[in-house]
Chains A and B, each alone.
Chain A
Amino acid sequence: MKKFETLTSQVVPLPIENIDTDQIIPARFLKATTREGFGDNLFRDWRFDTDNQPKTDFVLNNPTYSGKILVAGKNFGCGSSREHAAWAIQDYGFDVVISSFFADIFKGNALNNGVLPIQVPEEFLGKIFELVTQNPKTEIIVDLEKQTVMLTETGDQFEFEINPYKKSCLINGYDDIDFILNQKDSIELFEANRQW
């Protein structure tokens, strides 16, 4: 897994709530059997019309906004457990998603792929949207070690939470399977001692 330490980037604002994983990557694009290439269809039906032409009013088609940080409304990633949503976000070029609330499964999938989901208070999220509207070049600095997210323009900073184990996975670039494969003895012992 890709390592994550710090990131300074402009942001792409998507101030919509309850963005479900069907919007992030519609089911008809889940037929691939590898992890690559899903970024082309990220937010497919919001990004392209039925004739496959880019919808100019959608933020990903607006050259004013760019960057490796996606900022979205609350309950981001709800619905289907498809990890393809995290793959699509990563493949498109986002390393961080900021929201005021994440759905559980999406959050886990993102972390398992080196995409950092950062939960911030509603007011902080509102401030980001406001600043980015005023100045699309606004930058954010994410420091995973310090667990901080900072708006460079105003100096506003928030200290986010992350499970210490998941944090070390991201910083060191290792995944759950590497960790758990080293626990085989404990697993076999558990199986041996198990009653019905």
Chain B
Amino acid sequence: MSKTLVEKIWDAHVVKREEGFPDIIYIDTHLIHEVTSPQAFDGLRKRGIPVFRPKQTVATADHNVPTLNQHLPIKEELSRYQVDMLTKNCAEFGIELYGLGHPYQGIVHVIGPELGITLPGKTMVCGDSHTSTHGAFGAIAFGIGTSQVEQVFATQCLLQSKPKTMKIEVNGTLQKGVGAKDIILYIISKISAAGGTGYFIEYAGSAIRSLSMEARMTICNMSIEMGARGGLIAPDQITFDYVEGREFAPKGEEWDQALAYWKTLYSDEDAIFDKVLTFDAADIAPMITYGTNPGMGMGIAEHIPATNAQPESERPSYQKALDYMGFKDDSVVLGNRVDYVFIGSCTNSRIEDLREVASFVQGKQKAQDVEVWIVPGSKQVEKQAKEEGLDKIFEAAGFQLREPGCSACLGMNEDKIPAGKYCVSTSNRNFEGRQGPNARTMLVSPLTAAAAAVTGKVTDVRELI
């Protein structure tokens, strides 16, 4: 029987399927971090049980860490306690931890792929909704709540109903200055912040195929922003080349066996998806969000859609979003003041993102009144950036290169955007207060962020390259 890629991987992981119950599916790899795990460890203690397969669990500290002076103790008491708790829990339950100071530390969705932990055909979960990132390798990867973290600790399995499947094809060639982030912001703007709910999305088409692994991760990362549980891309030679030789990737004979299996991981030609959408890459402009959910996005030169153009029941929420952002109906954001530029997060903090920004800003200066933070996704990304001399370029441009972590993506750690300030951000969420109470976020690509940093206002990067 023909199957989609999701069905192939899902069915290979069903431990038990029973009428009237969700499937019991086996989880190959469990990633954990300091924020969503402590209550799950507590649950194990209360039940008096161990982590069932500690070797299939990997931990890092990322959400609640400072991105300056990581060699010093964390200043904020609650944050320090939470990070220390992760260290204690990992020691007690026998879990490998890449904590602060470790050369592999970083954002959980950056380190999994770069260490070769993320592999095609795997099932992977993490108590973080951006776990969908790992789908770029042709894995089923999705975010879970803390009760489910405990469930995976206890059994290496999850009770899950099989999701519906959606195929999103993007065909053709991208315009100059348009990248993976623009593709995904464009898709979300078309299908809304809820349009993918209940589905696992497979991204396909020539424009997706031509992307690098890191660009594919950016796409899959934001699947959750349209409500989809996960998104994935069938593995191909680009995937295999990226994985080969990485620290924990299979080697020798195991590699050959793995590769033979991975080459069977694609949706059969006549496989049936519950929904199929097709987009033309040439239609996509550099994107920007103007509201308070990632579905409120548009081409950077466009006008903000009018409140009256929204369905009547949605107008109050829509107007509330524009008021929060300080934007008016039918106005443009092009030229709007920018106070902060944040380049980082599990969406856009990899070496290719940093290279793209560096190559744009080389020989340029940031605008005087803008603060620019570059936060690498991991210690390894930071190290490589320095080896390539990118740090010098950033320094010369007046950009601040910080240490790895989730940083200003989520307004949890020390890195917050002040109230009322506009932040052009390469992160994934523009919710009210996401980057700090009353902060105003506009989501963009790294290139558009770099352009804003240089001009001090929202800028169409196509005019500068």
Interface residues of A (CB under 8 A from B): 15-18, 20, 22-23, 26-28, 30-35, 45, 50, 73-75, 78-84, 86, 101, 103-105, 108-109, 112-113, 122, 126, 163-165, 175-177, 179-181, 183-184, 186-187, 190-191, 196
Distance in Å from the Cβ of A112 to the closest Cβ of chain B? 4
Q: A45 to B432, Cβ gap below 8 A?
A: yes
Q: Given the complex, which residues of B lie within 8 Å of A191, measured CB to CB?
A: 26
B85 within 8 A of A: yes
Q: B15 to A73, Cβ gap below 8 A?
A: no
Q: Given the complex, which residues of B lie within 8 Å of A101, measured CB to CB?
A: 194, 197
Which residues 256-307 in B have Cβ within 8 Å of A in the complex? 257-258, 261, 292-293, 295
Q: A75 to B145, Cβ gap below 8 A?
A: no
Q: Given the complex, which residues of A lie within 8 Å of B257, measured CB to CB?
A: 196
Bound complex: CA of A17 vs CA of B192, how far in Å? 12
Q: Which of B35, B145, B154, B320 contacts A105 (CB 8 A)?
A: B145
Bound complex: CA of A177 vs CA of B52, how far in Å? 12
Given known contacts A22-B432, A50-B437, A81-B144, A187 and B419 CB-to-CB distance under 8 angstroms: no
B116 within 8 A of A: no
Residue of A80, A84, A103, A175 contacting most chain B CB atoms (<10 Å): A80
B150-167 vs A, CB cutoff 8 Å, 1 = contact: the mask equals 110011111101000000
Bound complex: CA of A30 vs CA of B36, how far in Å? 9
B128 within 8 A of A: yes
Given contact pairs A17-B317, A31-B64, A45-B438, enumerate 12 new A-B contacts (beta carbons under 8 Å). Answer: A18-B295, A27-B434, A31-B81, A33-B82, A34-B39, A45-B433, A81-B129, A105-B145, A109-B146, A112-B145, A177-B154, A190-B26
Residue of B79, B85, B150, B320 contacting most chain A CB atoms (<10 Å): B150
Distance in Å from the Cβ of B333 to the closest Cβ of chain A? 20
Q: Given the complex, which residues of A lie within 8 Å of B16, measured CB to CB?
A: 183, 186
Q: B314 to A181, Cβ gap below 8 A?
A: no
B176-188 vs A, CB cutoff 8 Å, 1 = contact: the mask equals 0000000000000
Given known contacts A31-B82, A187-B26, A82 and B36 CB-to-CB distance under 8 angstroms: yes
Given known contacts A34-B39, A79-B129, A190-B26, A16 and B313 CB-to-CB distance under 8 angstroms: no
Q: A79 to B143, Cβ gap below 8 A?
A: no
Tier of interface size on chain B: 35 or more
Bound complex: CA of A183 vs CA of B292, how far in Å? 43
* 16 A–B contacts, CB within 8 A, in A order: A16-B317, A22-B429, A22-B432, A22-B434, A28-B411, A50-B419, A81-B36, A81-B143, A82-B145, A104-B197, A113-B147, A175-B147, A181-B154, A184-B155, A187-B15, A191-B26
Q: Which of B20, B82, B147, B411 contacts A27 (CB 8 A)?
A: B411
B229 within 8 A of A: yes
Q: Given the complex, which residues of A lie within 8 Å of B198, measured CB to CB?
A: 104
Total contacts A to B, CB within 8 angstroms? 181
Bound complex: CA of A86 vs CA of B36, how far in Å? 13
Q: A180 to B81, Cβ gap below 8 A?
A: no
Q: Given the complex, which residues of A lie within 8 Å of B79, measured CB to CB?
A: 31
B94 within 8 A of A: no
Given known contacts A31-B78, A45-B433, A78 and B227 CB-to-CB distance under 8 angstroms: yes
Q: Given the complex, which residues of A lie within 8 Å of B143, measured CB to CB?
A: 81, 105
Q: A104 to B38, Cβ gap below 8 A?
A: no
Which residues 114-138 in B have Cβ within 8 Å of A in the complex? 127-129
Residue of A34, A101, A105, A164 contacting most chain B CB atoms (<10 Å): A105
Q: B411 to A26, Cβ gap below 8 A?
A: yes
Q: B316 to A78, Cβ gap below 8 A?
A: no
Bound complex: CA of A149 vs CA of B161, how far in Å? 24
Q: B148 to A126, Cβ gap below 8 A?
A: no
Bound complex: CA of A27 vs CA of B148, how far in Å? 20
Bound complex: CA of A20 vs CA of B202, how far in Å? 24
Q: Given the complex, which residues of A lie within 8 Å of B437, measured CB to CB?
A: 26, 45, 50
Distance in Å from the Cβ of B125 to the closest Cβ of chain A? 10
Q: B194 to A23, Cβ gap below 8 A?
A: no
Given known contacts A80-B129, A190-B15, A177 and B261 CB-to-CB distance under 8 angstroms: no
Q: Given the complex, which residues of A lie within 8 Å of B316, measured CB to CB?
A: 15-16
Q: Which of A104, A183, A196 contacts B155 (CB 8 A)?
A: A183
Given known contacts A33-B38, A83-B36, A104-B227, A196 and B258 CB-to-CB distance under 8 angstroms: yes
Distance in Å from the Cβ of A37 to the closest Cβ of chain B? 12
Q: A180 to B432, Cβ gap below 8 A?
A: no
Q: B22 to A163, Cβ gap below 8 A?
A: yes
Given known contacts A27-B412, A190-B15, A180 and B151 CB-to-CB distance under 8 angstroms: yes
Q: B193 to A78, Cβ gap below 8 A?
A: yes
Q: Which of B145, B197, B254 contacts A83 (CB 8 A)?
A: B145
